[in-house]
Structure 1
């Protein structure tokens, strides 16, 4: 489309084209794509990053964005952006899975709250894990490193050559295995304590049948789980720190 503004209009369409990949990455990312983040904020962030990308890289928009080649180029930009954001989703899903396991052992899966980052319900313990992970992720500057990887993707996947290939798709799918392993590592300390609590409750119920197992086991599970969470807090910090590093490492592997 030509509105008669010459070179200025060409730079505008170039900026819009660059914003496509960045905006798709922001929508798919767990922090920036949260429901609580207004769409206007994501557009402004994508525009600010796109201005720097236009200044640093020789990325050019297709001659005609409304042609078949232009639409395919835009779809390729969206594919790369969504992939880079979706890789972070795997890492940020690990604490939610661990919270489901811990909440089931404590009997607290009934205590759910609306997750502001996804707009869905999640266990209350999962909210705690997500807050810790978000704070550590931002404190380490991992979000800035992720933006640097998004900018670097223009060197690896130039516009028009954005097909990731079956190898990279298989690599992204393989990150799911690492997600489950990390979830097990987060839930393991608390789960072991809850197992001991359940064994003690079972022994007490067999030695004193007059005791009400339900009135005894539930408080013991909740108190034991909370105590285990307090004791394992340093381990949780180390795990989410490693999780943030792994999230960036997975994004780098996609760009290799």
Structure 2
């Protein structure tokens, strides 16, 4: 009975490692708005609630395996949770990058604000996109999607069994795809403002005595805000399409991590 209890304690700790690693890295859950104590408490409660519903055969960890095996298992569980969390962070990073590209084109790149989600310096448009992404994430029950994927991961990924070395290439594929989507979101601004720069360059050649820099900044800012006004109604739809693919990314991640 004592050995059995030790095995269950070790299994519970490993569950906590996977859950806490995800919570510390996943979007929304890892927000700086939540104190670390709240995150740890939430991870602990989630681990305790998940323990009874996980198949018992997926919780078998031999206590006589040695410190090397246990240490490796802890590392594997942490990498699983981090991998799940970073998938969502890549999506949010792509949306934030689209905001940065737009800010640079409409000369707002120098106007930095503090992002309330990360407590880091960010451009005004990227901070706006980050807040909109969080609202869309909650509107489509993204937090529930993450928690359900986490619970499902314990069914298909037993403790200490995962192909964590295969995660890297898949993360690169996601990053490339998200980068392309971010460029597509910012493409109207890039194209229109490129044409505006071209027109201003021609104007500067025609009127060399004009202070083109003094004229260009307010024009680019005004055109940028006009574009943002017309594009804004479509942003929630674009963000929803990107964030709804998050569950597919997590499902594919579990398939990659599964030991055949």
TM-score (norm: length of structure 2):
0.87
Match of 1:215 in 2: 214
5 Å-filtered alignment, 1:240-251, equals 240-251=239-250
Unpaired runs of 5+ residues, structure 1, are none
Match of 2:51 in 1: 54
**Distance in 2 of aligned mates of 1:175 and 1:135:** 22
In the TM superposition, residue 6 of structure 1 has moved relative to its aligned partner by: 8.7
Q: Does the 8 Å contact 2:196/2:220 carry over to 1?
A: yes
Match of 2:123 in 1: 123
Q: Does the 8 Å contact 1:30/1:117 carry over to 2?
A: no
Q: Does the 8 Å contact 2:7/2:61 carry over to 1?
A: no
Match of 2:156 in 1: 156
Inter-CA distance 128–66: structure 2 relative to 1 (3 Å threshold): farther
5 Å-filtered alignment, 1:1-256, equals 12-57=9-54, 58=56, 59-60=58-59, 62-64=61-63, 67-166=67-166, 168-256=167-255
**Distance in 2 of aligned mates of 1:189 and 1:247:** 25
**Distance in 2 of aligned mates of 1:223 and 1:66:** 66
Q: Does the 8 Å contact 1:15/1:47 carry over to 2?
A: no
Q: Does the 8 Å contact 1:101/1:187 carry over to 2?
A: yes
Aligned residue pairs total 252
In the TM superposition, residue 103 of structure 1 has moved relative to its aligned partner by: 1.7
**Distance in 2 of aligned mates of 1:181 and 1:7:** 51
Query: Over the residues paired in the alignment, what is the CA RMSD in angstroms?
Result: 2.3
In the TM superposition, residue 11 of structure 1 has moved relative to its aligned partner by: 5.1
Unpaired runs of 5+ residues, structure 2, are 256-260
Post-superposition, which runs of at least 4 consecutive aligned residues in structure 1 deviate over 4 A? 4-13
Inter-CA distance 120–24: structure 2 relative to 1 (3 Å threshold): same
Q: Which moved more, 1:53-62 or 1:214-223?
A: 53-62
Q: Does the 8 Å contact 2:140/2:244 carry over to 1?
A: no
In the TM superposition, residue 110 of structure 1 has moved relative to its aligned partner by: 0.6
**Distance in 2 of aligned mates of 1:242 and 1:66:** 47
In the TM superposition, residue 214 of structure 1 has moved relative to its aligned partner by: 0.9
Q: Does the 8 Å contact 2:14/2:159 carry over to 1?
A: no
